Amino acid sequence: MVAAVHVSRQVKIAAVIVGIVGIWGALIPFVGPSFGYGMGTAESWQWSDRRLTGHLAPGFAAALGAILMLQGRWARQLPGASLALLGGAWFVLGPTLRPLWATQSMGGMSGMDGSALSSALTGLGYHYGTGVVIVIAAAYALGLLGARVTVDPSADGAERSDAPTTRARISAGRPSP
């Protein structure tokens, strides 16, 4: 029972991280330019296809996945973590794949003013860092949910699992015979 509580707490922590970073990724292109943290020449709260498909959609997917991960039931947590993983991956891959459907080329980060460091930090804050943090936290939660084993004290110490996992005891990171 202690192991299940510990895993559940870790999934919830991962969900909170995914939710916060997902909301950041969805909203930063809309609010960032108002305090000098802009990418390209866009203004605050200017709606575009690029912002919808590159920020709002994956950020919403990650945030929705985080909400599902917080539900506490494995049947909702697993799809939630998977959705968050897809949202985070989209933050990383979306800027590269966007020219496949966009009429305008994204042009990389050449439209930004400032130093190379500023350009790198903006790219990390807008896409790559945001996506990587979401992917790591969601993948961690998926791993926890996939290896979840609980002990039911009412069943004379017999192991039970609410997830379709193997019936192995996990100690020191390795299954024991």
Per-residue pLDDT band at 69 (split at 50, 70, 90): very high
Quote the CA–CA distance of 42 and 80 in Å, as a whole number. 32
Averaged pLDDT for residues 26-52: 84
pLDDT at 98 over 50: yes
Task: Kindly indicate the confidence band of residue 105, based on its pLDDT and cuts at 50, 70 and 90.
Answer: very low
pLDDT at 44 over 70: yes
Crossing angle of helices 2-31 and 129-146, rounded to 10°: 160
Closest to 88 in 3D by CA, of 14, 18, 12 = 18
Indicate whether 48 pLDDT > 70.
yes
* Residues whose CB falls within 8 Å of the CB of residue 142, separated by 6 or more in sequence, listed in order: 78, 81, 82, 85
Q: What does pLDDT average to over the chain? A: 76
Contact 77, 145 (CB under 8 A): yes
DSSP 174: E
Distance from C-alpha of 61 to C-alpha of 65, rounded to nearest angstrom:
6
Given a contact cutoff of 8 angstroms between Cβ atoms, the answer to whether 29 and 51 are in contact is: yes
Please state the domain extents for the chain.
Answer: 2-176
- Annotate 15-32 with b (16+ C-beta within 10 A) or e (fewer): bebbbbbbebbbebbbeb
Query: What is the rounded CA–CA span in Å between residue 54 and residue 29?
Result: 10
Q: Residue 112 — pLDDT band, cuts 50, 70, 90?
A: very low
Tens digits of residue pLDDT in 129-152: 888 899 999 998 888 888 765 555
Tell whether the model's pLDDT for residue 24 goes beyond 80: yes
Q: Which of 47-56, 98-107, 116-125 has the lowest mean pLDDT?
A: 98-107
* 27-31, 46-50, 115-119, 153-157: the lowest-pLDDT one: 153-157
Run of H or E residues at 137: helix 129-146
| Distance, CA of 42 to CA of 75 (rounded, Å) | 41
pLDDT band (50, 70, 90) for residue 9: confident
